[in-house]
């Protein structure tokens, strides 16, 4: 047993022990301070018709590595990669994602996607589509390049290159030492795990211009455009052409025709019904619910007796096709209003334009075996309503329709001006049958300033549907600022404007969104995980030795006394 005096001797050493041993250990294993905090955007995550799409996870606490380091170790690693490198190693990244070879990916985008050349743009669009066409089991984030991210990327790349060159000459002991002592970077995104958005509400905006007569006894022309945009990341879905151009065209048509309808002399005997629909990028969900409400509801509907419905989509001709296409599920019969509108489009284009401009009709049958519809008008055609989509695109398969590369560009404006004027003239000729000259070439003409300002404002903010959902606040439904702004613009020209809220039941799995769509990334400068293992082992060994010393202190004390006594005795006789 240890005596009180012996124990006292032990405790005399504790302050020295704390200073010399414990403090360095605490410093070594204490959490590192964050070097940087960055906003990053998570790739898409939603369910549509029971299909699970996108990245299912959001949290990360992973060591940053470059692509070339994956062959060494990939457990608990986050690959940080510039877009240019990703495009050069496309097959590698498809393998990484499909086989879950890493625990996370951070993609650094250039400041502007215009820096990509033609082949790079095509490769990126293909990669972007692949990310939003399947379920992914790792968190994937994107962020535009910044000084901090580029420095981190360059340091990781240099470390990988240096490691490859020096590994041949290093001994195994040296390699082990480097793996333990070399600092790394920890990528941390914390917070709650992904969860479905509860009480999901999608909002449509409807406006009506009533003709001169009894409302439900006059024919109706409907004009529809979906206001949401889509890309691989909800936070970067700007959709300037798809479908910002369609929204702008619809609002400009409201502005033009409201002047005609507000004057008793020019008020026609035709109703105009306008709809800005939500969740268009999700199989035209808002349009489907709107049609169902009009046709299956108890009240009389203008839509059921409509002459035709015009769906506006991607009118800014980003691909430079120099034309306008009427997409139909079934070619309209000769003499019908839809067929007459097509003839008016061709005639006005040929007589008003001095440069070659093609107006074409493209017939595509509805493929019900496909998971999603090709064009918005197909929602109407399924319910046997006359409808078509007007678009500068010749095919619904254009990858730009769902891409973060679809941003504002001044080059979009001239084709958009032309197409809005052409469509407005053709609709006016359907309404005013005896009017032969161009109606919007006189004092009443399209406003370039109005169109440019609207398209610019729409393209400045992400319009992913996840960011435009409405929410229930007590007895009121609160809409997003963008929806409120669109409503106010419509009310400026039309008295009859209505917000239509669609409540989505998550149990049906028809449409489910998940949070979060963006996060805060903390980057820490830390020792590698193996360093913690060695520190833990060293602490364990040290504590075992210390415990052994304390437990056997009386033996050591006796031995020390004998040695001291013996030394004193020997020195006495010398």
Would you list the domain boundaries of the chain? 4-16+535-572, 31-195+518-527, 201-503
Q: Report how far residue 225's alpha carbon sits from residue 377's, in angstroms, rounded to the nearest whole number.
A: 10
What is the value of pTM for the model shown? Answer: 0.85
The pLDDT value recorded for residue 449 is 96
Residue 334 φ/ψ, nearest 5 degrees: -60, 135
Label residues 145-156 b or e (16+ Cβ within 10 Å = b): eeeebeebbeeb
Please name which of 288, 292, 296, 300 lies closest in space to residue 220, comparing C-alpha atoms.
300
Question: Which strands make up the sheet holding 358-363, listed edge to edge?
Answer: 358-363, 323-328, 387-391, 306-312, 220-226, 271-277, 201-209, 496-503
Q: Which CATH class is domain 201-503?
A: alpha beta
Backbone φ and ψ for 566, nearest 5 degrees, come out as -65, -40
Nearest CA-CA partner of 235 in 106, 426, 44, 79: 44
Strand-strand pairing, 387-391 and 306-312? parallel
Q: What is the pLDDT along the chain (574 residues), one digit of tens a residue?
A: 445 454 455 445 455 455 455 555 555 554 455 567 899 999 999 999 999 999 999 999 998 988 887 765 567 899 999 999 999 999 989 989 998 889 999 999 999 998 899 999 999 999 999 999 999 999 999 999 998 899 889 888 877 665 554 545 555 655 555 555 567 789 999 988 999 999 999 999 999 999 999 998 999 999 999 999 999 999 999 999 999 999 999 999 999 999 999 999 999 999 999 999 999 999 999 999 999 999 987 666 889 889 999 999 999 988 888 899 999 999 999 999 999 999 999 999 998 887 889 999 999 999 988 989 999 999 999 999 999 999 999 999 999 999 999 999 999 999 999 999 999 999 999 999 877 667 887 778 999 999 999 999 999 999 999 999 999 999 999 999 999 999 999 999 999 999 999 999 877 778 999 999 999 999 998 776 666 677 778 788 878 887 777 777 677 677 777 776 776 545 544 5
Q: What is the pLDDT of residue 22?
A: 55
């Amino acid at each position: 047993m240890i005596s009180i005096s012996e124990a006292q001797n032990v405790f005399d050493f504790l302050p020295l022990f704390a200073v010399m041993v414990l403090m360095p250990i605490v410093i070594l294993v204490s959490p590192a301070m964050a070097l940087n905090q960055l906003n990053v955007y998570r790739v898409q995550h939603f369910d549509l018709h029971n299909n699970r799409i996108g990245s299912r996870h959001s949290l990360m606490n992973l060591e940053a590595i470059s692509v070339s380091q994956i062959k060494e170790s990939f457990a608990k690693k986050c690959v940080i990669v510039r877009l240019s490198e990703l495009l050069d190693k496309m097959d590698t990244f498809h393998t990484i994602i499909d086989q879950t070879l890493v625990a996370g990916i951070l993609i650094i985008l250039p400041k502007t996607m215009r820096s990509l050349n033609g082949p790079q743009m095509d490769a990126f669009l293909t990669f972007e589509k692949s990310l939003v066409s399947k379920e992914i089991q790792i968190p994937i984030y994107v962020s535009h390049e910044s000084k901090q991210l580029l420095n981190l990327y360059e340091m990781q790349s240099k470390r990988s290159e240096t490691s490859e060159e020096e590994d041949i000459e290093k001994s195994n002991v040296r390699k082990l030492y480097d793996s333990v002592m070399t600092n790394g970077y920890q990528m941390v995104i914390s917070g709650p795990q992904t969860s479905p958005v509860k009480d999901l509400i999608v909002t449509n905006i409807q406006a009506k211009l009533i003709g001169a007569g009894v409302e439900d006894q006059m024919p109706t022309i409907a004009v529809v455009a979906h206001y949401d945009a889509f890309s691989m990341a909800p936070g970067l879905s700007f959709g300037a052409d798809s479908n910002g151009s369609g929204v702008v065209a619809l609002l400009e048509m409201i502005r033009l025709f409201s002047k005609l309808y507000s004057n008793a002399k020019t008020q026609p005997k035709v109703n105009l019904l306008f709809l800005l629909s939500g969740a268009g990028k999700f199989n035209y969900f808002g349009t489907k619910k709107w049609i169902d409400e009009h046709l299956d509801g108890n009240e009389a509907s203008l839509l059921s007796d409509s002459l035709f419905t015009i769906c506006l989509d991607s009118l800014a001709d980003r691909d430079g096709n120099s034309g306008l296409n009427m997409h139909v599920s079934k070619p309209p019969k000769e003499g019908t209003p839809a067929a007459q509108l097509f003839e008016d489009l061709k005639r006005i284009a040929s007589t008003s334009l001095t440069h070659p401009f093609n107006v074409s009709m493209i017939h595509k049958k509805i493929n019900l075996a496909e998971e999603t519809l090709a064009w918005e008008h197909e929602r109407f055609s399924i319910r046997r309503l006359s409808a078509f989509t007007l678009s500068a695109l010749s095919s619904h398969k254009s990858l730009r329709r769902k891409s973060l590369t679809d941003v504002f560009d001044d080059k979009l404006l001239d084709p958009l001006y032309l197409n809005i004027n052409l469509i407005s003239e053709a609709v006016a000729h359907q309404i005013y049958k005896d009017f032969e000259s161009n109606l919007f070439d006189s004092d009443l003409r399209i406003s370039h300033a109005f169109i440019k300002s609207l398209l610019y404002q729409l393209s400045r903010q992400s319009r992913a549907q996840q960011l435009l959902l409405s929410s229930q606040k007590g007895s009121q439904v609160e809409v997003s600022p963008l929806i409120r702004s669109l409503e106010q613009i419509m009310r400026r020209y039309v008295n009859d404007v209505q917000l239509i809220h669609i409540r989505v039941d998550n149990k049906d799995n028809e449409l489910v969104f998940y949070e979060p769509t963006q996060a805060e990334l903390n980057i820490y400068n830390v020792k590698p995980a193996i360093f913690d293992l060695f520190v833990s082992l060293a602490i364990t060994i040290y504590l075992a030795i210390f415990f052994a010393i304390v437990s056997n202190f009386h033996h050591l004390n006796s031995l020390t006394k004998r040695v001291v006594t013996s030394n004193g005795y020997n020195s006495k006789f010398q």
